């Protein structure tokens, strides 16, 4: 398998008034095409910065990021980014929000609407097409965001703690939904979370990040697919992997308490 | 406890209070000399019916409503236009800020004599007074709308491949317009205040004129009769606002009354 996304010695410095903050320090990471990779780490470890750079929203201070062989220098149509916060436009109903990416691509209105309705059905929001974002529950808003993400048919999905605001039950439901939608699609997923269990249940590979994006542990998850995120958590292998990764995280915290 | 009987009781109490008030008023007016100051419900009723029959109410109400609506439309359009011009220019906005706040702080009624000099005592003086009142409210809200666009929404459209122009048209303009509409909604009653204050100061028509003309002749029944007409007009305008409110509340943004929001 070949790397779709490649990070080479990527660093990023943020300037806050007089002080300089090193958010990422020489991160090197390859993401294989078609894989589901989870990045786990404590808040402030630079995971979101990493995603923002892969998405092309911000540039690295030094180092190189390539996507499909070409340097990332801005947002790309073949990359979809689902942020932690919902960014549905409040003055558009669900249907018109989901249509938005196609509207920007100048897809004719009838075709746009047909595909949007199709995806609204896929994410289970049928009947809520004409609801406005503030009329949706947290879970429904996530589903609408997911539909808007998928309508553009991106090859690479960047998901930044997409389900962290949902309650446990809804989170599991959305996790299964995501796996179902991804399964067999051939799409590459980079999923950022601070929840180790979530990372193991979803990913082909879990990368544990420490302070400044340092890779503490990078492990393949040899659990078969298709998976059910609830059932898989009860498997002994799951617990073994979880214990191993926890130890790595914990050891890292003791070694570098300032990273927390 | 169920809601329906409670509501019925509330309406019952309101009716009772209203009737008691009228009766008390009527009784008080029988005291020697009191009718000069407080008139009486029966005298006001007679006056209302007389005014309705001879077209006085229709004539003066039409004038006031015309002034209110004209002032509202002019003020809202000017406020939105100015907000869209100044909103994106942070430096221009910061330079103008103290001047705009100073102008906004002037009680609008104090401008009336100046407007009489400029526009005469006709309908335009009232329209401009209402316009000025509405302008600032809509202007502040539009500026806030242009400036407070959630950067995450801008990024979202950028990530979809949207150009700067598309971000402007699909994110900034709708956000600013919804803020402007919120401002316009709360400005409607202020337009009425502007128009009536103008009429009170100098006029020969309109509900404000009706009030001041009656008062200058010590015609208390006329003053009260005109006040009741004004109350009805204000209530109708307010319920209009409520209807607008319900229609836009599905995505409206919060109101704002300063150039430097939050």
pLDDT value of position B248: 65
pLDDT band at A63 (very low <50, low <70, confident <90, very high): very high
Judged by a CB distance cut-off of 8 A, whether residue A107 touches chain B is no
CATH 3.40.50.300 placement within chain A = 3-78+156-259
- What distance lies between CA B120 and its chain's CA centroid? 23
pLDDT value of position A259: 43
Q: Is residue B259 over pLDDT 80?
A: no
pLDDT value of position A213: 86
Residue A18, SS3 per DSSP: coil
pLDDT in tens, A121-161: 988 899 999 999 988 998 899 999 999 999 999 999 999 99
User: What dihedral angle (degrees, nearest 10) is formed by the CA atoms of A243, A246, A251, A254?
Assistant: -130
Q: If you measure CA to CA, which chain A residue comes closest to B173? A: A91
Mean pLDDT, chain A, rounded, equals 90
Residues of A in contact with B175 (CB under 8 A): 91
ipTM score assigned to the predicted complex: 0.85
Q: What is the average per-residue pLDDT within B233-261?
A: 71
Q: What percent of chain A has pLDDT over 70?
A: 96
Judged by a CB distance cut-off of 8 A, whether residue B156 touches chain A is yes
Residue A93, SS3 per DSSP: coil
pTM greater than the 0.90 cutoff: no
- Which tokens is B187 given? 């400005």
CB proximity under 8 Å: B 20-79 to A: none
pLDDT value of position A249: 80
Judged by a CB distance cut-off of 8 A, whether residue B169 touches chain A is no
Instruction: Sketch the domain layout of chain B as residue ranges.
Output: 1-38, 39-248
The verdict on a CB contact (< 8 Å) between B175 and A87 is: no
Domain B39-248: CATH architecture, name and number where available: Orthogonal Bundle (1.10)
pLDDT band at A256 (very low <50, low <70, confident <90, very high): low
Residues of A in contact with B153 (CB under 8 A): 87, 89
Dihedrals φ, ψ of A152, to 5°?
-80, -5
Residues of A in contact with B150 (CB under 8 A): 87
Asked if omega into A222 is within 30° of 0 (cis), the reply is no
The verdict on a CB contact (< 8 Å) between A75 and B159 is: yes
| Higher local confidence (pLDDT), B262 or B53 | B53
Judged by a CB distance cut-off of 8 A, whether residue B145 touches chain A is no
Residue A22, SS3 per DSSP: strand
Judged by a CB distance cut-off of 8 A, whether residue A130 touches chain B is no
pLDDT in tens, B116-126: 999 998 999 99
Taking only Cα atoms into account, the Rg of chain B, rounded to an integer number of angstroms, comes to: 23
Residues of A in contact with B158 (CB under 8 A): 57, 75
pLDDT in tens, B133-160: 999 999 999 999 999 899 999 999 999 9
Mean pLDDT, chain B, rounded, equals 90
Q: Is residue A211 over pLDDT 90?
A: no
Smallest Cα distance from B153 to chain A, Å: 5
pLDDT value of position B250: 67
Q: If you measure CA to CA, which chain A residue comes closest to B179? A: A91
Q: What is the average per-residue pLDDT within A217-222?
A: 92
The verdict on a CB contact (< 8 Å) between B161 and A101 is: yes
The verdict on a CB contact (< 8 Å) between A134 and B251 is: yes
The verdict on a CB contact (< 8 Å) between B159 and A55 is: yes
Alpha-carbon span A110 to A105, nearest angstrom: 14
Dihedrals φ, ψ of B209, to 5°?
-65, -40
- Which tokens is B141 given? 């809200």
pLDDT value of position B218: 93
CB proximity under 8 Å: A 189-228 to B: none
- Which tokens is A186 given? 């051939």
pLDDT value of position B136: 94
pLDDT band at B257 (very low <50, low <70, confident <90, very high): low
pLDDT in tens, B76-133: 999 999 999 998 888 998 999 999 999 999 998 899 999 999 999 899 999 999 999 9
Domain A3-78+156-259: CATH architecture, name and number where available: 3-Layer(aba) Sandwich (3.40)
pLDDT value of position B249: 63
pLDDT in tens, B177-226: 888 888 888 898 899 999 999 999 988 999 999 999 999 999 999 999 99
Judged by a CB distance cut-off of 8 A, whether residue B173 touches chain A is no
pLDDT value of position B234: 92
pLDDT band at B251 (very low <50, low <70, confident <90, very high): low
The verdict on a CB contact (< 8 Å) between B159 and A100 is: no
Other beta carbons less than 10 A from residue A241's beta carbon: 20
Q: Is residue B262 over pLDDT 50?
A: no
The verdict on a CB contact (< 8 Å) between B160 and A101 is: yes
pLDDT in tens, A74-125: 999 999 999 988 999 998 999 999 999 999 999 999 999 999 999 999 888 9
Q: Which of B158, B166, B175 sits opposite A75 (nearest CB)?
A: B158
Q: What is the average per-residue pLDDT within A228-245?
A: 92
């Amino acid at each position: 398998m070949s790397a779709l996304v490649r990070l080479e010695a990527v660093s990023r410095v943020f300037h806050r008034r007089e002080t300089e903050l090193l958010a990422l320090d020489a991160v090197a990471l390859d993401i294989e095409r078609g894989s589901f990779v989870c990045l786990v780490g404590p808040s402030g470890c630079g995971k979101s910065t990493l995603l923002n750079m892969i998405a092309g929203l911000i540039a690295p201070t030094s180092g190189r990021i390539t996507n499909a062989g070409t340097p990332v220098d801005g947002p790309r149509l073949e990359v979809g980014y689902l942020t932690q916060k919902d960014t549905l436009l409040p003055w558009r109903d669900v249907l018109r929000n989901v249509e938005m990416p196609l509207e920007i691509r100048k897809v004719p209105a009838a075709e746009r609407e047909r595909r949007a309705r199709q995806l609204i059905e896929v994410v289970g929001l049928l009947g809520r097409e004409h609801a406005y974002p503030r009329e949706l529950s947290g879970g429904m808003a996530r589903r609408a965001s997911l539909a808007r993400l998928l309508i553009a048919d991106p090859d690479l999905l960047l998901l930044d703690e997409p389900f962290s605001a949902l309650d446990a039950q809804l989170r599991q439901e959305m996790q299964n939904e995501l796996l179902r939608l991804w399964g067999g699609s051939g799409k590459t997923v980079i999923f950022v979370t601070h929840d180790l269990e979530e990372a193991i249940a979803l990913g082909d590979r879990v990368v544990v990040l420490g302070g400044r994006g340092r890779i503490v542990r990078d492990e393949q998850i040899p659990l078969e697919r298709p998976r059910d995120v609830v059932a898989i958590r009860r498997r002994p292998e799951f617990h073994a992997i979880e214990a191993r990764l926890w130890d790595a995280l914990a050891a890292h915290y003791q070694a570098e308490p300032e990273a927390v | 406890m169920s809601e329906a009987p409670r509501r019925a009781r509330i309406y019952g109490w309101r009716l009772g209070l209203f009737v008691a008030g009228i009766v008390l008023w009527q009784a008080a007016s029988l005291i020697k000399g009191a009718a000069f100051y407080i008139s009486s419900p029966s005298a006001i009723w007679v006056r209302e019916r007389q005014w309705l029959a001879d077209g006085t109410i229709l004539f003066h109400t039409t004038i006031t409503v015309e002034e209110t609506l004209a002032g509202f439309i002019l003020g809202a359009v000017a406020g939105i236009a100015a907000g869209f011009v100044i909103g994106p220019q942070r430096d221009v906005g910061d330079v103008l800020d103290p001047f705009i706040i100073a102008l906004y702080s002037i009680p609008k009624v104090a401008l009336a004599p100046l407007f009489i000099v400029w526009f005469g005592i006709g309908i335009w003086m009232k329209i401009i007074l209402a316009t000025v009142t509405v302008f600032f409210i809509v202007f502040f809200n539009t500026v806030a709308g242009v400036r407070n666009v959630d950067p995450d929404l801008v990024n979202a459209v950028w990530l979809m491949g949207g150009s700067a122009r598309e971000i402007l048209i699909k994110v900034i303009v709708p956000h600013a317009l919804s803020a402007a509409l919120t401002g316009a909604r709360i400005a409607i009653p202020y337009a009425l205040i502007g128009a009536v204050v103008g009429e009170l100061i100098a006029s020969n028509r309109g509900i404000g004129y009706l009030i001041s003309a009656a008062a200058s002749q010590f015609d208390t029944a006329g003053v009260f009769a005109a006040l009741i007409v004004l109350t009805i007009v204000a209530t109708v305008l307010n319920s209009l606002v409520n209807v607008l409110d319900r229609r836009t509340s599905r995505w409206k943004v919060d109101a704002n009354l300063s150039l430097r929001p939050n």
